[in-house]
């Protein structure tokens, strides 16, 4: 089992960043890990099977920003702020 740690992550048809997307996964979405292949994991999620880069997954559910449920990133020209 793994959990997506990106806001959105492309589920790829092959274990390369250049392969076509077969679906999109969202932050904290749970996936079943089938196997590791190089820098990618073959996973099953939402009735689809595909590949996610290893940096897109963690083994336990990620927490919210310091326990808050309203975390978001805002930016202006010079800075980014976690609100």
Mean pLDDT of 18-38: 96
What span, in angstroms and rounded, lies between the C-alpha atoms of 41 and 11?
10
Q: How many whole angstroms separate alpha carbon 66 and alpha carbon 12?
A: 31
Tell me if the pTM is above 0.75: no
32 touches 63 (CB < 8 A):
no
CA 49 to chain centre: 14
Residue 77 pLDDT exceeds 90: no
The predicted structure's pLDDT at residue 64: 62
């Amino acid at each position: 089992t793994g959990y997506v740690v990106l806001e959105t992550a492309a589920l790829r048809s092959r274990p390369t960043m250049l392969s076509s997307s077969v679906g999109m996964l969202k932050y904290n979405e749970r996936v079943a890990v089938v196997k590791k292949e190089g820098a990618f994991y073959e996973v099953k999620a939402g009735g689809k099977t595909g590949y996610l880069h290893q940096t897109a997954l963690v083994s336990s559910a990620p927490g919210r920003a310091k326990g808050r449920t309203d975390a978001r990133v805002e930016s202006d020209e010079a800075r980014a702020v976690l609100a």
